[in-house]
Amino acid sequence: MNSPFELFGLTLNISIAISFLPALLAICALTFSLNRSALVLALMSLVFAYCFAIVDVFGALGIINLFAMCYGFNYFRYMAIQWILGLGIFVFSVLFFVHVFPGFNNPLVIESYLVSENAVPFSKHLNFDKLMVAIALMALIVPRSDFSQCKEATKVFAVSTFVVLFGLAGGVFSGLVQWDPKLSPILMGWVITNLFITCYAEEAFFRGFIQTQLHRGLRKYHMGQWLTVGCSGILFGIVHLPGGIAYTIIASLLGVGCAYGYQKTNNILVPIYLHFAFNLMHFCLFTYPFLA
């Protein structure tokens, strides 16, 4: 049952496929605001992941606590309770993101693959912990308005285009990457993991959760919305500091662009797909992930 097979460039087995498929479908459901369906699918995914030892009892309890805190944060209106639950959500999300919360066995699905001949080898895990953060935040906390009703869609598109192009150019001029157009055999697998796990989770956390709380705290101040955008973008850059100064600056620029798009539209899908567009162009047109 657990003999490995390759699908879309990912090395999987039946237990991995069964465990992750409902969670990925939950992300799709959330894209169309089907929040209750997403929660049911997430529960199914957790049960399968526990049965197949992708999570153990500690990991399962951590996920249940995260979802409970997200529900409470949205339900209770007392400021003190919201602060406590918000801090808990922040801590749990960070621990899940950096994969130090006990109880997770995230499967390695791409190992030391040379996407570009002159790049460092690329490896990828299917991060069940990070995927659960995306579902919990988007299903229970992150607000969303209709982007089609946004009166500043043209400005958002212009800023987004500038951020993507300037950020990629910065990667070239800083020596992180170089021009390398390609159609990689692992493209579809990379798209699934990068869009549905990386981009959804990071934008739900940095924009949907952190930026929303920053906006609530700073909106009464002069230039409050711009402080919110700047803080959200810089915080996103800071967490990329292990990649070096140039990488941090580019990530900060991308973060500011995503924060601006979210601030103007209040639709989490805008920064998600801006983030993904940047990553996709990097993957397809430039050295990936970085020059060796």
The per-residue pLDDT for range 84-123, each reduced to its tens digit, is: 999 999 999 999 999 999 999 999 999 999 999 999 999 9
Other beta carbons within 10 angstroms of residue 49's beta carbon come to: 27
pLDDT at 146: 67
What span, in angstroms and rounded, lies between the C-alpha atoms of 34 and 151?
A: 25
pLDDT at 147: 60
127-144 as b/e, with b when 16 or more CB fall inside 10 Å?
Answer: bbbbbbbbbbbbbbbbeb
> For residues 153 and 200, which has the higher predicted lDDT (pLDDT)?
200
Residue with tokens 């539209």: 265
pLDDT at 152: 79
| Omega of the bond leading into 4 within 30 degrees of 0 (cis) | no
Burial of 175 (0-12, 13-18, 19+ CB in 10 A): exposed
**With bands split at pLDDT 50, 70 and 90, how would you rate the model's confidence at 219?**
confident
Longest dimension (CA), the chain: 61
pLDDT at 27: 98
Domains of the chain: which residue ranges? 1-142, 148-197+215-292
For residue range 18-47, what is the model confidence (pLDDT) as tens digits? Answer: 999 999 999 999 999 999 999 999 999 999
pLDDT at 123: 96
